[in-house]
A and B are shown apart, each in its own frame.
Chain A
Amino acid sequence: DAGVTQSPTHLIKTRGQQVTLRCSPKSGHDTVSWYQQALGQGPQFIFQYYEEEERQRGNFPDRFSGHQFPNYSSELNVNALLLGDSALYLCASSLVASGSYTDTQYFGPGTRLTVL
């Protein structure tokens, strides 16, 4: 049973550039959430995608955008990169449609983004 996968593992960009991160959810899951984790802090929710639409959004600027594909995989795009965008970007998947309280979010290994 494949877990959540993310690519790439590491990425180095310069200020002002744009970046795209990718995520494939755990087998059987239909919902993808993205989180940003700065060094030494807990993850912060960016947004969640379900049925190819943004379902919830955290307190992040419009420079952060996303997309979900029909196969449930997802992309996170960040435009006009700032030094402060350097962080571990985590993707988590879950199954919302089941309605069961046992469903929660499972995380991938993350993509470490460094902005110079």
Chain B
Amino acid sequence: QKEVEQDPGPLSVPEGAIVSLNCTYSNSAFQYFMWYRQYSRKGPELLMYTYSSGNKEDGRFTAQVDKSSKYISLFIRDSQPSDSATYLCAMSEGAGNMLTFGGGTRLMVKP
């Protein structure tokens, strides 16, 4: 069993839909949780960064962390075709420590 599990998709939604992306993990020592967006053949781009449990909102993006369930989510409101990419969740035990990634979910937003 992988340390971080993520549904690979692809997830196809119409433009304007609310998108929900999720990851589960097994290591209770993870304290820092991140979501990265990666376009084809590019490096990952940091979207959201959360410490411990709780919610964080940034524009159309909301990240949620539930440490008791070992479950994190990323919500995208009013999705746009430009949001079409692979979304990677990542976690670490300490700030700046090695990141453990999920396998990524491929999202396609259709006009």
- State whether the Cβ of B7 lies closer than 8 Å to any Cβ in chain A: no
A43 x B32 contact (CB < 8 A)? no
Q: A42-B88, A90-B43 are in contact. Are A101 and B95 (CB under 8 A)?
A: yes
Q: How large is the interface on B (under 10, 10 to 19, 20 to 34, 35 or more residues)?
A: 20 to 34
A103 x B98 contact (CB < 8 A)? no
Closest to A44 in B: B101
Interface size on A, residues (CB 8 A): 32
Instruction: Write out the residue numbers on chain B whose beta carbons fall within 8 Å of the beta carbon of A4.
Output: 43
Closest to B89 in A: A42
How does the 8 Å CB contact mask read for B41-56 relative to A, with 1 for contact and 0 for none?
1111110010100000
Closest to A58 in B: B98
Instruction: Write out the residue numbers on chain B whose beta carbons fall within 8 Å of the beta carbon of A81.
Output: none
Instruction: Write out the residue numbers on chain B whose beta carbons fall within 8 Å of the beta carbon of A24.
Output: none
**Of B6, B90, B95, B100, most A-chain CB atoms within 10 Å:** B95
**A interface residue numbers (CB < 8 A to B):** 4, 31, 33, 35, 40-45, 48, 56, 58, 88, 90, 92, 94-96, 99-110, 112
